Amino acid sequence: MLWVLSSGALGRWFVEGGVGERGHLTFTARPLHRDSLKRLGRYSLELAGEKTKLIRFGRFARRDCQRLGEGAPSTFDFLGFMHYCGTSRSGKFKLKRRTAAKKFRGKVDDLKSWFRSNLATPISEVWPTLVRKVQGHFQYYHVNDNWPMLMKSREAARRLGLRWMRRRSQKGANLSWSDYHRYLEAYPLPMPGRLKDLIAMTGAK
């Protein structure tokens, strides 16, 4: 399968196409891409070349990539998720998503900066805010197949929390992992809830 990915000031969209039985391209992805360029040109607009590409993606992408010697199917990032071709437990094709690496690094960097800006703020004020931040992250990113990245985000918050406590004062510098664990038992960070099945949600509509 080939999709058109385009991002920029005019938004981002995907167009799915198919491959014929003999490998001939029988879809509208390429013509649509050309038509899009023409239409934008009428208004003196253009697509960002470095942000626009055709990729093979979908149910038969792995088969077609192997047949054409293209390696593994491509992935793409959209709305903070990396989308990739996977398989279900029954071995059927499944569109899978996980937190995009760039988005994850950005979230961790933001959390580091936030902790640094609150070195003098009482723990009783910072910790509830941290809990809400983690909960907010889970609410957006808790979709099927993303559990490992959710736990990775929680672990990052946990470790940064300890580093922040140790940097607050000379006394806190001696805070041990065991003492920190006891604090976490009293004031735990949230765990991800039940993962959303986006396919089922779409079907229900």
Residue 6: the pLDDT is 42
- Same domain for 13 and 59? yes
The residues facing 15 across adjacent strands are 4
Q: Does the pLDDT value for residue 123 go beyond 90? A: yes
Question: Is residue 193 located within the same domain as residue 105?
Answer: yes
Residue 86 located in a structural domain: no
Residues 193 and 111 in one domain: yes
Letter for the amino acid at 126? V
Asked if 72 and 62 count as a contact pair (C-beta separation under 8 A), the reply is: yes
Residue with tokens 């077609």, as numbered in its chain? 64
The residue whose two tokens read 């950005």 is 106
In a domain, 95, yes or no: no
Q: Which range marks the domain in which residue 182 is found?
A: 101-199
Residue 13, domain member (yes or no) = yes
Q: Which two tokens stand for residue 19?
A: 């491959």
Report how far residue 21's alpha carbon sits from residue 155's, in angstroms, rounded to the nearest whole number.
47
Number of Cβ atoms within 10 Å of the Cβ of 146: 22
On whether residue 96 sits in a domain, the answer given is no
Residue 14 located in a structural domain: yes
Is the pTM higher than 0.85? The answer reads: no
Domain count, the chain: 2
Q: Is residue 31 part of a domain?
A: yes
Distance CA 116, CA 137 (A): 20
Q: Is residue 160 part of a domain?
A: yes
Please calculate the CA angle 100-106-110 and round it to the nearest 5 degrees. Answer: 145
Map tokens 């509509």 to a residue: 205
Least confident of 48-52, 82-86, 156-160: 48-52
Residue 16: count other Cβ atoms within 10 Å of its Cβ. 14
| Interval 33-58: pLDDT, tens | 667 667 777 877 766 666 666 677 77
**Residue bearing the bigger pLDDT, 161 or 23:** 161
Question: What is the tens place of the pLDDT at every residue in 66-79?
Answer: 777 777 777 888 88
Q: Do residue 70 and residue 113 come from a single domain?
A: no
